[in-house]
């Protein structure tokens, strides 16, 4: 099931190219088709712990999942 747009999602795998880790929470802002027929992507807006936008990232659809009640948020330091 694809999460609805403008909902918070959780990453379920690391996305090193975007400096994101499994467990990071972001806002899903769009879906995009892969131009060469590979896996489609999700456009995410990423926020820091204070709710300030720190960037936009594109990740594979298989890397995201909707938030559920049995998840506990956590924090980590941003890479320098």
Residue 47 token pair: 């926020």
Which of 29, 25, 66, 30 shows the shortest CA–CA distance to 47? 25
- Domain that includes residue 47, residue range: 8-64
Would residue 69 count as lying in a domain? no
Say which DSSP state 2 is in.
P
Would residue 74 count as lying in a domain? no
Per-residue confidence of the chain (80 residues) as pLDDT tens digits?
789 999 999 999 999 999 999 999 999 999 999 999 999 999 999 999 999 999 999 999 999 999 999 999 899 998 76
Residue 48 token pair: 């820091």
Number of domains, the chain: 1
Would residue 25 count as lying in a domain? yes
Which of 33, 27, 22, 24 shows the shortest CA–CA distance to 3? 27
Would residue 75 count as lying in a domain? no
pTM of full prediction above 0.85: yes
Which of 65, 70, 56 shows the shortest CA–CA distance to 7? 65
Would residue 77 count as lying in a domain? no
Would residue 24 count as lying in a domain? yes
């Amino acid at each position: 099931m694809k999460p609805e747009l403008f909902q918070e999602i959780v990453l379920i795998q690391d996305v090193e190219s975007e400096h994101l880790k499994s467990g990071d929470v972001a806002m899903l802002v769009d879906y995009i088709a892969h131009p060469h027929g590979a896996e489609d992507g999700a456009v995410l807006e990423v926020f820091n712990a204070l709710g300030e936008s720190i960037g936009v990232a594109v990740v594979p659809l298989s890397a995201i999942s909707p938030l559920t009640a049995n998840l506990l948020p956590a924090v980590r330091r941003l890479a320098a």
